[in-house]
Amino acid sequence: MSSSKQDGIVAAKGRHNAEDPDIFRPFERLIEITIRGKAYNVPENNTILRCLQFLELQRISDAELCWNGNCQNCTVRIIENGRARTAMSCRTEAVQGMAIEEINPAIDI
């Protein structure tokens, strides 16, 4: 792993831990996902919604979200094995290589 990636992990952990230590599940590394074809590094072991929060902390923190599967404001369209499906980002874990094609306007980053 490159030192810049390590530095990014340390910086990310430090930034988020300092503000709210409980919002992310523990992670040791970042994984790469794509959003509309652009690559992003996000924490492993976390839902897509938490990963979006990792990328846009204030935007997601301010959105009207239930975080428990009821409001449907967090839907995303993902491509898996060449097939598109809609998922609730608060209930779906992000995995290495995941491709997100659409994000609900309520949480779009």
66 binds ligand FES per the rule CB under 6 A: yes
100 binds ligand FES per the rule CB under 6 A: no
Q: Which long-range contacts (C-beta less than 8 Å, at least 24 apart) are formed by 50-55?
A: 50/23, 50/24, 50/25, 50/94, 51/94, 52/89, 52/103, 52/107, 52/109, 53/23, 54/12, 54/16, 54/24, 55/109
86 binds ligand FES per the rule CB under 6 A: no
- Among residue numbers 36 through 65, which ones bind ligand FES (CB under 6 A)? 65
CB nearer to ligand FES: give 9 or 73: 73
Binding site residues, ligand FES, CB under 6 A: 65-67, 69-74, 88, 90
